[in-house]
Amino acid sequence: MKAYIQIIKNYEINYGTTLTSDQLIKKINNMKSRLKTKTDINRTGNKKIVLKDWEIKLKVIIDGDRNPSLNKIPGSGLPPNPVPSGSPLHDIPSKKCKTVPKKLAASRQSLTAHTSSFTEATSTYETEETKNLSLPELQRLVLLKQLKVLTLKEEKYTSQLKDK
């Protein structure tokens, strides 16, 4: 509250008009929203952003020296602890679990690197027919195959209905 009173006194000295605390809060919120829209990457894209002195100071105050979204949960950046082999949970055999082929099993490296997982997935399912197709041609091919499957299912169901 002392800060509000000090700012209101300074504003009155500099501009000659009095402010209420509600007016001051509104002015500060307007400044924050203007700064956020001015520095929003989705709106500005690759344009160079030139900030005024007060905008730079306010941005430093708002952002601080750390990213709060990463620091909200203590230890959120740490990986979970694996279950030690010898614990009761580790030794229980799973009946419903199926093993995944080595080709499709994800390693730690493929989880961290998007490109390697992408190349592994494409090499697994890519054929000579699909390698040289452009994106629209590939989409058309997929749609045609889906249409073929649907027509075969429809024929199967109609033949089953006729037999009954």
pLDDT digits (tens, 9 = 90+) for 106-162: 544 444 445 556 667 667 777 888 888 888 888 898 899 999 999 999 999 999 999
- Which is nearest to 139 in space by CA: 128, 152, 130, 148? 130
> What is the spatial distance between Cα 36 and Cα 129, in angstroms, rounded to a whole number?
49
Instruction: Name the token pair of 46.
Output: 């690759």
Is the overall model pTM greater than 0.85, yes or no? Answer: no
Each domain of the chain, given as residue ranges in start order, spans 2-71, 101-151
Ordered alpha helix ranges (H), 114-134: 114-125, 128-131
Query: Per residue in 95-109, is it b (16+ CB within 10 Å) or e — as a string?
Result: eeeeeeeeeeeeeee
pLDDT digits (tens, 9 = 90+) for 70-103: 444 555 444 455 555 555 544 455 544 455 555 4
> What is the spatial distance between Cα 34 and Cα 62, in angstroms, rounded to a whole number?
13
